[in-house]
């Protein structure tokens, strides 16, 4: 066997694509992930051997690749995925992180978790069953979380004789539904994860399909534009004061840029104080940079000595975010204890910690039909609703559709400290 | 238009630095778990970057099984001196002497499991509320389920079926008195990423990672270092081999690989061609299908 020499230069040049996979056990999700990993040599012999032995012990006929992704004992015993698992592989072009999320209705909270950091989502549809409620639900959650790229894989094409009409009909149904959602980029690929058609290799069984394979699409989606490069936003995370002789007067504001581009010499405004000053330098251990952009973690020094602490935000004078204590969000509820109006929670947004009061549940969304429903005063686990909040201090935010970082927040139960809700600012 | 893109290693670096700073901001007494292995060395490097020009604002925290390679201990002490940070040591030998744990006996005796008690005792003694660990999700299937901020109850237990959802880049470190967190800044790094980063940043690592001659013996297909406390079965002969460590842990469970890799470039080529995971040579994981999950639930790293 000849091994290509590994190229460090090429490796360092790769970028990163985070994607999530949604589908139920029967859609062949594990088989698809297994194939992507296997074909990129990301499954090792000892892992495969362990899975092979476990499959035999359990009496499975084939090597059960789901055993590879189901990491918890309870998952393997019950044959279901309970929690998000993260998988890694690289092709010569790109490095990938898969957030493998369960598709059952009761685990919507995990889907939302996996989707929250994804650039792309793969939604699996079984060619034999066509579009189901679950397909609608997955699409809606992906669009609600503003995943920029959505790839519908019509799987098990081998079981419908690689029939083009089946694929076209599903494509037609999804497109009609998708027109109601706000997704920028939608693709369709007919595949057979089991046989390998159009996953890594172009299928010889579907000459009528002129598009790229799944891996080709994943390798070539443009991710650079997924960040907001327009509105400069720098939430102050930590203040660096060395207290050493050499850096006696040093005062740097550490954080991660979540929007726009910051340059040395830029005139900036500090929120909430409203002071205007100039960026003196953008520092890092390697001598600093002239300009910084998302998602860089850097340290900013300013010309003026101001009282700035964690939770403040550095922005541009001519481009400020919204500032308010009254905020409307699309809330996905994740706790067995329902959300009620009049209840107080801890709220985390960028680097700010505040408390909030739930003022109103305006309407719920039926995630299977996208219809609005107004029923009652409480939001149950795995439900999504538009909710009005009042915070103890003003937040500095942008609508979620404009910036996923300054537009997202979480609610925390004051008694248990558990994360109970994820909110996308409207 | 100008392209503003970070390559994947710089994106991972930025994510890890963000996590380090989040720990410093959200916790009162964090500590960085340091084993002397490559992952903890990369963590220290990232922590240096996160707080420069200030010192790392938390101590290094070593769980010492008493069965360490000498090179690891020398490396640790030099690094601590260079950084000017405090070092906290939890000693497994002390836990044994105090009767907190009982030394395993037999041929596969290891102090690996005993570390959990020492670790939890030290966390309690020093009132550590966040222990930063070098665990990576690509290492092992139970680790693939870990959060960046992973909650531990007052017994140090992990409840994998009931973890806090972790959304966007918002990390919830809220806790009650007596509870603590394990934080994993390297969650999204792979073994190859670690080596590439060590190469890219020219990070100093212990000589154990490069090829050297050592007295070894073979058990269950794995080379182990021959030390007096490593009981050998009849027929397990000690020979001298050119080997290197792919991972560094306690001597009793660190499998050594035959290798002639003398520098980072050669290590990278070796890793790229290998068909076995790095934990494939860790005997601690071979005990059962759920070995890691079970240990982690009790409070292991």
A23 pLDDT tier (thresholds 50, 70, 90)? confident
A88 touches B: beta carbon within 8 Å: yes
pLDDT digits 0-9 by tens, A311-335: 999 999 999 999 999 999 999 999 9
Identify the CA nearest to A387 among candidates A401, A402, A368, A374: A374
B168 or A226, greater pLDDT? B168
Q: What is the mean pLDDT of residues B131-138?
A: 93
Closest approach of B141 to chain A, Cα-based (Å):
4
A109 close to B (CB below 8 A): yes
Q: What confidence score (pLDDT) does residue A5 get?
A: 61
Tell me what pLDDT residue A70 has.
66
CB-based contact, A283 to chain B, within 8 Å: yes
pLDDT at residue A10 above 90? Answer: no
Residue, of B92 and B281, whose pLDDT is higher = B92
Residues of B in contact with A238 (CB under 8 A): 21, 24-25
Q: Work out the minimum CA distance from B21 to partner chain A, whole angstroms.
A: 6
Average pLDDT, chain A: 89
pLDDT tens by residue, A363-417: 998 887 778 888 767 999 988 999 999 999 999 999 999 999 999 999 999 999 9
B263 in contact with A at a CB cutoff of 8 Å? no
Which tokens in the block code for residue B259?
């290798």
Q: What is the dihedral of CA A227, A232, A235, A238, to 10 degrees?
A: 100
Q: How far is B138 from chain A (nearest CA, A)?
A: 7
Least reliable range by pLDDT among A300-304, B130-134, B237-241: B237-241
Query: Domains plus CATH for chain B?
Result: 8-193+290-298 (3.40.50.620), 205-285 (no CATH)
With bands split at pLDDT 50, 70 and 90, how would you rate the model's confidence at B296? confident
Give the Cα separation of A175 and B27 in Å (integer).
48
Distance CA A422, CA B108 (A): 47
Highest mean pLDDT among A80-94, A255-269, A354-368, B267-281: A255-269
DSSP sequence for B57-112: SS-EEEEE-S---HHHHHHHHHHHHHHT--EEEEEHHHHHHTTSS----STT--ST
Strands A233-235 and A120-126: unpaired
How far is Cα B114 from Cα A387, in angstroms, rounded to an integer? 49
Q: Which of A45, A52, A21, A70 is nearest to B293 (CA)?
A: A70
The pLDDT of residue A124 is 92
Neighbours of B163 (CB within 10 A): 21
Residues B251 and B258 sit within 8 Å (Cβ to Cβ): no
CB-CB neighbors (< 8 A) of A410 in chain B: 167-168, 170, 172
Q: CB-based contact (8 Å) between A90 and chain B?
A: yes
Cβ within 8 Å of B, A 148-177: none
Read off the pLDDT of each residue in A57-77 and give the average, rounded to a whole number.
Answer: 70
Residue A78 pLDDT grade (very low, low, confident, very high; cuts 50, 70, 90): low
B240 touches chain A (CB under 8 A): no
3-class secondary structure, A59: coil
User: In terms of residues, how long is chain A?
Assistant: 426
Q: How far apart are CA A378 and CA A380, in angstroms?
A: 6
Supply the mean pLDDT for chain B.
Answer: 89
State the Cα–Cα distance between residues A403 and A260, nearest whole angstrom: 10
pLDDT level of residue B49 (50, 70, 90 thresholds): very high
Question: What's the N-to-C CA distance of chain A in angstroms?
Answer: 56
User: Residue A159 has what pLDDT?
Assistant: 94
Q: Which residues contact B159 (CB under 8 A, 6 or more apart)?
A: B151, B153, B297
In terms of CA atoms, which chain B residue is nearest residue A46? B276
The pLDDT value recorded for residue B76 is: 95
A285 touches chain B (CB under 8 A): yes
**Looking at residues B285-299, what average pLDDT do you find?**
73
Residue window 41-80, chain A: list those with CB within 8 Å of chain B: 44-47, 50, 54, 68-74, 76
Residues from chain B contacting residue A117 (CB–CB below 8 Å): 168-169
CB pair distance less than 8 Å for B164 and A418: yes
Q: What is the mean pLDDT of residues A96-121?
A: 83
Q: Does position B157 have pLDDT exceeding 50, yes or no?
A: yes
Note whether A296 contacts B268, CB cutoff 8 Å: no
Angle between helix axes B38-51 and B191-201 (nearest 10 degrees) is 50
- Spatial CB neighbours of A89, under 8 Å, sequence gap ≥ 6: A36, A37, A40, A42, A95, A96, A98
Of A73, A86, A240, the CB nearest to B290: A73
Give the range with max mean pLDDT: A87-91, A271-275, B267-271. Answer: A271-275
Tens-place pLDDT, residues A237-251: 999 999 888 998 899
Portion of chain B with pLDDT greater than 70, in percent: 96
Query: What pLDDT digit, counting tens, does each position of A345-357 carry?
Result: 999 999 999 999 9
Kindly report which listed range (A115-119, A214-218, A373-377) carries the lowest average pLDDT score.
A373-377
Sign of CA dihedral A239, B32, A284, A266: negative
Q: Which neighbouring-strand residues pair with A387?
A: A329, A361
Greatest alpha-carbon pair distance for chain B in Å reads 70
Question: How close A162 comes to chain B (CA, Å)?
Answer: 35
pLDDT at A1 over 50: no
Quote the radius of gyration of chain B (alpha carbons, Å): 19
Q: What are the structure tokens assigned to A234, written together? A: 């720098």
Q: CB contact, 8 Å: B277 with chain A?
A: yes
At B113, list the tokens. 């499991």
Cβ–Cβ contact B177 with A under 8 A: no
Whether residue B227 is predicted with pLDDT greater than 90 in this model: the reply is no
What is the rounded distance in angstroms from the CA atom of residue B190 to the CA atom of residue A88? 7
CB pairs under 8 A between A and B: 197
Reported as a pLDDT band with limits 50, 70 and 90, residue B132 is: very high
pLDDT band (50, 70, 90) for residue A3: very low
Q: Among the listed ranges A19-28, A287-296, B93-102, B181-190, which one has the minimum average pLDDT value? A: A19-28
Cβ atoms within 10 Å, residue A301: 16
pLDDT at B203 over 60: yes
What residues of A are in contact with residue B295 (Cβ under 8 Å)?
Answer: none
Domains and CATH numbers, chain A: 8-226 (3.40.50.300), 233-316 (2.40.30.10), 322-425 (2.40.30.10)
**Residue B275 with chain A: CB contacts under 8 Å:** 44-45
pLDDT in tens, A152-194: 999 999 999 999 999 999 999 999 888 878 787 899 999 998 8
Residues of A in contact with B176 (CB under 8 A): 417
Pick from B188, B181, B149, B189: nearest CA to B166: B149
**Residue holding tokens 């995971």?**
B277
Confidence of residue B250 (pLDDT cuts 50, 70, 90): confident
* Inter-chain CB proximity B144 and A229 less than 8 Å: no
Inter-chain contact B161–A419, Cβ cutoff 8 Å? no
pLDDT computed for residue B271 by the predictor: 85
In 3D space, the residue among B216, B222, B190, B201 whose CA is nearest the CA of residue B264 turns out to be: B201
CA nearest to B54, candidates A376, A424, A299: A299
Q: How confident is the model at residue A2 (pLDDT cuts 50, 70, 90)?
A: very low
From chain B, pick out residues whose CB is under 8 angstroms from the CB of A76. Answer: 289
Residue A103 has pLDDT above 70, yes or no: no
**Mean pLDDT within B146-154:** 93
């Amino acid at each position: 066997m000849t091994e290509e020499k590994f190229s460090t230069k090429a490796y360092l040049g790769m970028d990163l694509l985070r994607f999530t996979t949604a589908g139920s056990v029967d859609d062949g999700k594990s088989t698809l992930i297994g194939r992507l990993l296997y074909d990129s040599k990301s499954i090792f012999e000892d892992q495969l051997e362990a899975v092979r032995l476990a499959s035999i012990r359990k009496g499975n006929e084939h090597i059960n690749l789901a055993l590879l992704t189901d990491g918890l004992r309870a998952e393997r015993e019950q044959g279901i995925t309970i929690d998000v698992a993260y998988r890694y592989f690289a092709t010569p072009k790109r490095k990938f992180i898969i957030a493998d999320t369960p598709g059952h209705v009761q685990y919507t909270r995990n889907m939302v978790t996996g989707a929250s950091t994804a650039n792309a989502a793969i939604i699996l549809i079984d060619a034999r069953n066509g579009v189901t409620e679950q397909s609608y639900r997955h699409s809606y959650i992906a669009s609600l979380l503003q995943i920029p790229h959505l790839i519908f894989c019509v799987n098990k094409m081998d079981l419908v004789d690689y029939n083009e009409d089946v694929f076209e009909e599903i494509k037609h149904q999804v497109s009609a539904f998708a027109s109601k959602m706000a997704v920028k980029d939608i693709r369709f690929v007919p595949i057979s994860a089991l046989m390998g058609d159009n996953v890594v290799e172009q299928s010889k069984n579907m000459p009528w399909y002129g598009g790229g394979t799944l891996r080709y699409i994943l390798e070539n989606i443009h991710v650079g534009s997924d960040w907001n490069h327009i509105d400069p936003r720098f939430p102050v995370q930590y203040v660096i004061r060395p207290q050493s002789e050499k850096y006696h007067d040093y005062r740097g504001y550490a954080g991660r840029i979540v929007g726009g581009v910051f340059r040395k010499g830029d005139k900036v405004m500090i929120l909430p104080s409203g002071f205007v000053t100039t960026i003196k330098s953008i520092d890092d251990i390697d001598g600093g940079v002239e300009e910084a952009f998302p998602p860089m973690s850097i340290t900013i020094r300013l010309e003026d000595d101001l009282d700035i602490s964690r939770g403040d935000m550095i922005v541009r004078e001519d481009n400020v975010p919204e500032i308010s204590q009254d905020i409307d969000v699309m809330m996905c509820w994740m706790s067995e204890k329902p959300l009620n109006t009049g209840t107080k929670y801890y709220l985390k947004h960028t680097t700010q910690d505040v408390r909030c009061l739930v003022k109103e549940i305006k309407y719920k969304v039926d995630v299977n039909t996208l219809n609005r429903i107004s029923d009652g005063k409480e939001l149950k686990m795995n439900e999504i609703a538009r909710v009005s909040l009042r915070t103890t201090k003003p937040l500095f935010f942008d609508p979620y559709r404009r910036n996923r970082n300054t537009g997202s927040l979480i609610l925390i139960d004051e008694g248990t400290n558990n994360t109970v809700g994820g909110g996308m600012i409207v | 238009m100008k392209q503003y893109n970070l390559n994947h290693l710089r994106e991972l670096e930025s994510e890890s630095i963000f996590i380090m700073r989040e720990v410093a901001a959200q916790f009162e007494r964090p500590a960085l778990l340091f084993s002397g292995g490559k992952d903890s060395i990369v963590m220290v490097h990232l922590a240096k970057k996160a707080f420069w020009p200030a010192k790392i604002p938390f101590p290094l925290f070593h769980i010492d099984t008493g069965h360490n390679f000498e090179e690891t201990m020398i490396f640790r002490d030099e690094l601590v001196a260079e950084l000017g940070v405090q070092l906290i040591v939890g000693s497994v030998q002390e836990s044994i002497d105090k009767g907190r744990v009982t030394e395993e006996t037999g041929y596969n005796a290891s102090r690996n499991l005993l570390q959990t008690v020492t670790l939890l005792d030290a966390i309690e003694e020093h009132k550590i509320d966040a222990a930063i660990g070098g665990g990576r999700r690509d290492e092992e299937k139970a680790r693939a389920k870990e959060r960046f901020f992973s909650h531990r109850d007052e017994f140090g237990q992990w409840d994998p079926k009931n973890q806090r959802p972790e959304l966007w880049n918002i990390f919830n470190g809220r806790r009650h008195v007596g509870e603590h967190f394990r934080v994993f800044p390297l969650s999204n790094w792979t073994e190859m990423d670690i080596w590439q980063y060590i190469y890219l940043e020219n990070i100093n690592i212990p000589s154990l990672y490069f090829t050297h001659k050592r007295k070894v013996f073979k058990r269950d297909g794995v080379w182990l270092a021959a030390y007096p406390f490593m009981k050998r079965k009849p027929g397990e002969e000690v020979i001298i081999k050119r080997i290197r460590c792919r991972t560094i842990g306690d001597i009793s469970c660190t499998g050594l690989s035959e290798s002639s890799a003398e520098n980072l470039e050669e290590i990278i080529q070796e890793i790229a061609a290998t068909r076995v995971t790095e934990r494939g040579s860790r005997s601690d994981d071979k005990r059962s299908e759920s070995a890691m999950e079970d240990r982690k639930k009790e409070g292991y790293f």
